[in-house]
């Protein structure tokens, strides 16, 4: 439980970190559903930050977002990476290359559970993958 002024400070801090404060500061009493899809995604990030997590898991954080909203989410990720570990699940290889520092490629082949095919720093993964399946996926030959 926090005092009212502490709660207000927490709200402002988390919305600022999520890149949303300037856009919503004058309409904090409105429901989150009144926000755009990209703003709603950044609101989810702000809500997560309020509990000061060690790890933030994002499952397809830019799915169905327009390019401008995607860019804003990616900028938010870049700004937050120094204070919280961020794990992103994505099928968007270009996004993975842009925002990650370390990658793992998981593959579920027919009739078997998924497993890690390869893991490496992002530059190595995208520049010279060691497994041909990783290379094929990164270069769009399947998936």
Instruction: For each of the domains in the chain, give its residue range(s) and CATH number, in order of start.
Output: 4-100 (3.40.50.300)
pLDDT of residue 119: 97
pLDDT of residue 38: 93
pLDDT digits (tens, 9 = 90+) for 61-114: 999 899 999 999 999 999 999 999 999 999 999 999 999 999 999 999 888 899
Q: Which residues contact 137 (CB under 8 A, 6 or more apart)?
A: 93, 105, 107, 143
pLDDT of residue 111: 87
pLDDT of residue 80: 95
In angstroms, rounded to a whole number, what is the distance separating the alpha carbons of residues 137 and 107?
10
The band of 59, judged by pLDDT with boundaries at 50, 70 and 90, is: very high
Which long-range contacts link 38-44 to residues 24+ away (Cβ below 8 Å)? 38/65, 38/66, 38/68, 38/69, 38/70, 38/72, 38/73, 39/69, 41/65, 41/69, 41/73, 42/18, 42/72, 42/73, 42/76, 43/15, 43/18
Question: Averaged over 37-46, what is the pLDDT?
Answer: 95
pLDDT of residue 3: 87
pLDDT of residue 109: 84
Predicted model pTM: 0.85
Look over the chain and give the mean of its residue pLDDT values, rounded to a whole number: 94
Does residue 143 have a pLDDT over 80? Answer: no
């Amino acid at each position: 439980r926090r005092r009212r002024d502490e709660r207000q400070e927490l709200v402002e801090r988390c919305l600022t970190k999520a890149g949303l404060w300037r856009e919503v500061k004058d309409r904090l009493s409105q429901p989150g559903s009144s926000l755009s899809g990209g703003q709603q995604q950044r609101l989810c990030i702000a809500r997560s930050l309020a509990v000061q997590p060690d790890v933030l898991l994002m499952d397809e954080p830019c799915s169905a977002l327009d390019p401008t909203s995607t860019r804003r989410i990616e900028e938010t990720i870049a700004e937050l990476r120094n204070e919280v570990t961020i794990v992103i699940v994505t099928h968007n290889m270009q996004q993975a290359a842009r925002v990650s520092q370390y990658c793992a490629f998981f593959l579920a082949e027919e009739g078997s559970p998924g497993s890690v095919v390869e893991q490496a720093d992002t530059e190595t993964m995208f520049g010279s993958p060691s497994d041909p399946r990783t290379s094929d996926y990164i270069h769009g030959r399947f998936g």
